[in-house]
Amino acid sequence: MFQRFRRTRLNGHLRSLVRETNVNITDFIYPLFVRSGEGIKTEVASMPGVFQMSLDEILKECEELKKIGLYSIILFGIPDVKDSIGSDSLCEHGIIATAIRAIKETHPEMFVVTDLCFCEYTDHGHCGIIDEKNETVNNDATLEISGQQAVIHAKAGADMIAPSGMMDGIIETLREALDGAGFENLPIMSYSTKFASGYYGPFRDVAESTPSFGDRASYQMDPANRREAIAESIEDEAQGADILMVKPALAYLDIVREIKDSTSLPMAVYNVSGEYAMLKLAGKHNLIDYNRVVMETMVSFKRAGADIIISYHAKEVAKMLLNK
């Protein structure tokens, strides 16, 4: 006798009972972009609904996020002055450290993750100190100042550090720096498998981090490399990462699943700016049922193995879930 799979599909309640994958508000981390000034809330043209905000507006945004059940954010800083080594990110009075302190003082229940990188803070837009001879980032010199940046974030009150520069040895470096400064209990969420992707385009607008020369292919991963992608995350697990990540998400769900099956750590995905912008544009032109496709996309991340979803859609998804 053939199997009648449809028996469990005919009734809506039964479909819910046997559903294998569920999306919850607590799965999400929402990105926020802070810059100096007051009363600034500038929408990014390529990312409708995403804003650069001054700190006073960020604090208001956190209040709104709490109302819909979103308590986790990842914070990016946009300084007024940029230089060759990203000095603002190494200063306890810089934009990121100042924002962390203010958020934790005003909204102590918010879980503040900090993106640890240099691309937003450097005048050349690359993720560390430049190796001029090879026109790339000097890996080990960048590791040295990355440890300094991590301690700045920790002292300001960050709840989790998320290094995104794809420097070899970054997790071991940050773990040693944090432990040495007395922050042995501060977790690290590694951008462990981050591809040199075309899907990041709109992010360059909001973070003002377009490279002044070349691209990031010499330190971010080749999108064609599956085995290397898995090895990158396994290595970060060995070095002491607490959470692994694949970025971007949508075109790399095979990698998400393979890393999930090859490691024992929680898995995050970053649903990046280009993925967000494509759905926004398709929805604007009525090419898709926008809410349905957004939720279907979130389910696909969870089904592939993601425990955590970093997404610009997070506020929309939270409202959808509250109104179910």
- Output the known binding site for 5-aminolevulinate: 204, 216, 273, 312
User: What residue numbers does the annotated binding site for Zn(2+) cover?
Assistant: 117, 119, 127
3-class DSSP state for residue 167?
A: coil
Tell me, yes or no, if 67 is annotated catalytic. no
Active-site hit among 60, 82, 247, 324: 247
Q: Phi, psi at residue 274, to the nearest 5°? A: -65, -40
Q: Rounded CA gap, 311 and 69, in Å?
A: 15
Hey, which residues does 310 pair with through a beta bridge?
Answer: 29, 270
DSSP 145: H
Contacts of 324 (CB under 8 A, 6+ apart): none
DSSP 37: S
Contacts of 234 (CB under 8 A, 6+ apart): 259, 262, 263
Q: Rounded CA gap, 153 and 146, in Å?
A: 11
Tell me, yes or no, if 104 is annotated catalytic. no
Write the DSSP assignment of 152-164 as a string of letters. Answer: HHHHHT-SEEEE-
Contacts of 201 (CB under 8 A, 6+ apart): 46, 273, 274, 277
The alpha carbon of 229 is separated from its chain's Cα centroid by a whole number of angstroms, namely 17
Nearest alpha-carbon partner for 301 in 110, 21, 68: 21
Q: What b-and-e string marks burial along 97-129, b requiring 16 or more CB atoms within 10 Å of the CB?
A: bbbbbbbbeebeebebbbbbbbbbbbebbbbbb
The token pair at 9 is 């599909």
Active-site hit among 194, 260, 280, 302: 194
DSSP 3: -
Beta strands 267-271; 308-311: pairing state: parallel
User: What residue numbers does the annotated binding site cover?
Assistant: 117, 119, 127, 204, 216, 232, 273, 312
The residues annotated with a catalytic role in the active site are: 194, 247
